[in-house]
Amino acid sequence: MGSAGRDFHDYMTFFRQRPEFRVCAFTAVYIAEMDGSAADAARADSETAAYVLPKELAGADYEGDIPIYPESKLEHVIRIHNADFVFWAGSDIGYEAVMQRAVRAQAAGASFALLGPKHTALASEHPVIAVMASRTGAGHSPLARMLTGHLVTRGRKVGVIHHPMLYGDLARRPVRRLATFADLIEHRCTAEEREAYHPYLERDLVVYAGVDYASVLAAAERESDLLFWEGSNGDLPFVQPDLSVVVIDAQRAADELRRYPSESNVRRADVIVLSRVSETSADRVAELRQQCADYQPHAEILEADMRIDLAPRQVVEGRRVLVVEDGNALVAGGPAIGTAAAERFAAAQVLDVRAHAVGTVAEVLAAHPSWQGVLPVMGYSAAECRDIAATIAAAAPEAVIDAAPARLSELTHHGYGGRSALHPNVTGEAAIEAPIARVRLAFAQKRGRALRTIVDEFLERAR
């Protein structure tokens, strides 16, 4: 059970090597979106396999593909395959939700289990630094950008291994090496992948990802002298780290430390970074520091903020702006950084898009009335991109503040000669005429030993 990431990795590193296990099926939470298209309700609720792990990846012991079913059909899958065990391989999920899946499996007659790093973390011949978040939106990506930039200035040849974001034809994705912006197009990267990889490519770093992470690791080792793991979804690293840095959002810590496998990462951390501390009461920060020290007494605990940067700033001041937010981060309780940027950089007015919302945008806003009229980006299908552009065009802002995970210009016609970079063959999107200001968070340490110093000391020990 998983969501097209950790589940495939566990299969590749544990089950494919053990013929005493026979994997009969996967289930996936987001099965309707695994090909990058809009959700198809009938397919997502089907009792037949909607996708497969292709036999090319399944291994020599498997004569055919391994089916992938909707998670909602877990009991049906256990019954038709007479499954003995159900292994959970998801992340960024509350403890109660994990146990709900466990009791569903047990009620259907199967045992329920989880694999740990001893059986799934790959060992590298090079030093490995891993940066992870306790939960989506905690701020590990700005920290990762800062650290990789520092490592380059120290003369290290850094290979970035990124947590998978798997959609589409899995057989085409066993190993992906991304060194140029043209590679993003060649590998048909999704909007999420483009946004995750862009900052590294801008620094001439090579990013490695895929499905088969033993092969991914081998490819990275051939071209690097130090490996940098960037996790996502609060997951455990796929490569065993020598220096583990975990970021916790102090504003959401009460919830984040009760999610799987967030607490596992914290208990294994060498460095714990509490983010957004300036927005959190001193008493709460002190309580959180003590909680982290109880979990992992040997970790260094640092405090930091995530500074909001905006470029170009001049297009926002004194203007009527439309704010585009990361909808999935809002669902997870993360900050509305686009709205904060509008206030910080003196926008005259934030437009309420609800009166102008169409299609999928209108549906999302109706489901989340507390979002106060921002435009949330939840997915990247052609239909969703069309609806985003049409909503912005109808609202007619003087400027757009883009705080979505993927660049708005890649989702719409803006700046691409009348074509979306993500969906170049799809027509019908409205062009965005207003200038776009892009929001980016930057890591700003407030207390504790400088993280750069801790990393430099690690590099000396790793020689």
Say whether pLDDT at 434 is over 50: yes
Q: Six-digit token pair at 344?
A: 């910080």
* pLDDT tens per residue across span 44-100: 445 667 689 999 999 999 999 999 999 999 999 999 999 999 999 999 899 999 999
The per-residue pLDDT for 27 is: 94
Say whether pLDDT at 229 is over 90: yes
Euclidean distance between CA atoms 208 and 21, whole angstroms = 29
Q: Omega before 312 cis (within 30°)?
A: yes
Range 436-459 average pLDDT: 95
| Bigger pLDDT: 350 vs 416 | 350
Say whether pLDDT at 30 is over 90: no
pLDDT band at 412 (very low <50, low <70, confident <90, very high): low
Please tell me the least confidently modeled range out of 18-22, 160-164, 173-177.
173-177
Range 161-177 average pLDDT: 82
Percent of the chain clearing pLDDT 90 (strictly above): 67
Helix 140-153 and helix 451-461, axial crossing angle in degrees, nearest 10: 50
Q: Six-digit token pair at 165?
A: 């974001």
* pLDDT tens per residue across span 277-333: 999 999 999 999 999 999 999 999 999 999 999 999 999 999 999 999 988 788 877
Say whether pLDDT at 220 is over 90: yes
pLDDT band at 165 (very low <50, low <70, confident <90, very high): confident
Say what the pTM is.
0.85
**CA dihedral for 77, 78, 83, 84, sign (positive or negative):** positive
Q: Six-digit token pair at 292?
A: 């982290």
Euclidean distance between CA atoms 397 and 386, whole angstroms = 17
Amino acid at 245: V
Query: HSE (CB half, 13 Å, CA atoms) of 457?
Result: 9
Say whether pLDDT at 136 is over 50: yes
Give yes or no for a contact between 417 and 112, defined as CB atoms under 8 angstroms apart: no
The per-residue pLDDT for 43 is: 47
The per-residue pLDDT for 190 is: 76
Please tell me the least confidently modeled range out of 22-36, 50-64, 235-249, 255-269.
22-36
Say whether pLDDT at 406 is over 80: no
CATH superfamily of 121-306+444-461: P-loop containing nucleotide triphosphate hydrolases (3.40.50.300)
Euclidean distance between CA atoms 461 and 463, whole angstroms = 6
Quick one: three-class SS letters along 284-324? HHHHHHHHHHHHCCCCEEEEEEEEEEEECHHHCCCCEEEEE
* pLDDT tens per residue across span 201-215: 988 999 999 999 999
The per-residue pLDDT for 3 is: 81
Amino acid at 247: V
Among the ranges 30-34, 325-329, 430-434, which has the highest mean pLDDT value?
A: 325-329
Say whether pLDDT at 36 is over 80: no
Range 247-275 average pLDDT: 90
Strand, coil or helix: what is 171?
helix
Say whether pLDDT at 411 is over 70: no
Range 120-128 average pLDDT: 97
Say whether pLDDT at 10 is over 90: yes
Q: Omega before 54 cis (within 30°)?
A: no
Domain boundaries along the sequence of the chain: 6-119, 121-306+444-461, 313-434
Range 353-379 average pLDDT: 89
Cβ neighbours of residue 285 under 8 Å, at least 6 residues apart? 250, 274, 277, 303
Q: What's 13's DSSP letter?
A: I
